[in-house]
Amino acid sequence: MGALLLEELRAFTARLQCAEAASGDAGLGIDLLDAIEALKSVGCAVQAVITDDVATSIRADRKAAGLPQADWDRGIASQIALARRESPNRGGRHLGFARALVHEMPHTLALLRSGRLNEWRATLLVRETACLSATDRGIVDRRLCSDPATLDGVGDRGLIARAKALAVELDAASVVRRHRKAVSERRVTTRPAPDSMAYLSVLMPVEQAVCLQATLGRDADSLIATGNSGGRTRNQLMVDLLFDRGTGASVAAGVPVAVNLVLSDETLLAGGHEAAQLQGFGPVPAGIARQLVAEAVDSGTETSLQRVYSCPQSGALTAMESRSRTFPKSLRKLIDLRDRTCRTPWCDAPIRHHDHIRSRRKHGATSVHNGSGLCEACNYAKEAPGWTARPVSRPGGTHLIDLGTPTGHHYRSAAPPLPSAARQSEVEAVLIARLRAS
């Protein structure tokens, strides 16, 4: 039955790929949008049921095999993520979402399966009831989702407000505990934005966030009122004030912080156009990369140039070997520059562990070829029973890893391309050879 359903799904997917727009018939187009949205919701509901079934089956097999309980769940979220072409972090969320719907929120699952509720709104309900016991969560589920009309026309904010109100009514103490836990998880993160910009996100208690924004706004208004804005807008002033106060730039000139900018010699020295790579951010246009280097040198900021050698044909980094059981500092840095982020497919998490692809207990070498950068979660996941990993030999080519899961599925991970070195013409190569010979 399962294999037949899989073939039917693949056949239907192929048919849907050939669907065309309802040209000239807006009414039919709206009906198609509605039907496809319902299809997406039904698919999400079925995915949740299958996800929970997969997890239950894997845990049962591991329990029957006599593995310790701590290993029953290891790597399951990563398998879910790989199948859905998403990061392991998102895989964990999908797994938690599935467990909540299948075991504690049957009415929400039924609404999702009927197409009356989409995945995002179901996720909001699961999120806002996460602090409650299974019994109380079931009450919220019944009150909000047993009647499809209850949430008809209610926006996302209204849905969140209703779920929060019921959570406080049923168990105010758990809501308070959840708030305290959230405060303990405050953090600062960055993520890329268009046009070589970045978002700096601060997760903090709401009263602190409001106070910080009000203070920056007040001081920006003061600079504008006194004519000291330098032509900057209010928003620009608020950003500059935040940077000055966060780095101490207004009272101390440049505290040295290591920022790795990887660019080719042609981009740096010969006006090349190939993008550079800013570690922790991503590609930066060549002109902006040169500007960053020039500004750092002109301002007196401590700046150093370190050469990284790569294969002229493929751009792959030159191998470095070591007999150490752990990766030495220089080799770790080389792996960081090559991999940039966790090497698990679809995982963009920062590198936290430098891992032997073929483990030391299987005589894996401590080398750049047998090394990979992984986030903490992915490194622990691949140690679960049934997982395999091996480097794929491609002399002078892009570094490849073959990752195998306990279900027999295999995924390839290729290192991202590096900026290429300046190419020599045949005439230049001959001239250089003659000069060296003389």
Report the percent of the chain where pLDDT is more than 90: 39
Residues 133 and 85 grouped into a single domain: yes
Which of 246, 275, 292 corresponds to the end of one domain? 246
- Count how many domains the chain has: 4
The sign one gets for the Cα dihedral 94, 96, 102, 107 is: negative
Q: Does the residue 173 lie in any domain?
A: yes
When mean pLDDT is compared over 135-149, 170-184, 365-379, the highest value belongs to 135-149
Q: Does the residue 24 lie in any domain?
A: no
Q: Does the residue 224 lie in any domain?
A: yes
More confident residue, 242 or 284: 242
Q: Does the residue 1 lie in any domain?
A: no
Residues 162 and 144 grouped into a single domain: yes
Q: Does the residue 4 lie in any domain?
A: no
When pLDDT is cut at 50, 70 and 90, the band that residue 110 belongs to is very high
Whole-angstrom Cα Rg for the chain = 27
Q: Check pLDDT > 60 for residue 258.
A: no
The residues, any chain, with a CB within 8 Å of residue 398's CB and separated by 6 or more, are 314, 315, 316, 414, 415, 417
Q: What digits encode the pLDDT tens for the residues 73-102?
A: 999 999 999 999 999 999 999 999 999 999
Residues 280 and 372 grouped into a single domain: no
Q: Check pLDDT > 70 for residue 246.
A: yes
Residues 432 and 294 grouped into a single domain: yes
The pTM score is: 0.71
Residues 218 and 366 grouped into a single domain: no
Amino acid at residue number 39: L
Residues 287 and 394 grouped into a single domain: no
Q: Does the residue 94 lie in any domain?
A: yes
Find the domain containing 359 and state its range. 321-414
Do 262 and 276 touch, CB atoms closer than 8 A?
A: yes
Do 168 and 129 touch, CB atoms closer than 8 A?
A: no
* Lowest mean pLDDT segment, chosen from 290-294, 314-318, 355-359, 401-405: 314-318
Q: Does the residue 73 lie in any domain?
A: yes
Q: Does the residue 153 lie in any domain?
A: yes
Do 316 and 397 touch, CB atoms closer than 8 A?
A: yes
Residue 251's pLDDT is: 38
The residues, any chain, with a CB within 8 Å of residue 307's CB and separated by 6 or more, are none
Residues 168 and 54 grouped into a single domain: yes
Helix, strand, or coil (residue 382): coil
Residues 406 and 381 grouped into a single domain: yes
How many other CB atoms are there within 10 angstroms of residue 130's CB atom?
13
Q: Check pLDDT > 70 for residue 308.
A: no
How far is it, in rounded angstroms, from Cα 223 to Cα 234?
Answer: 9
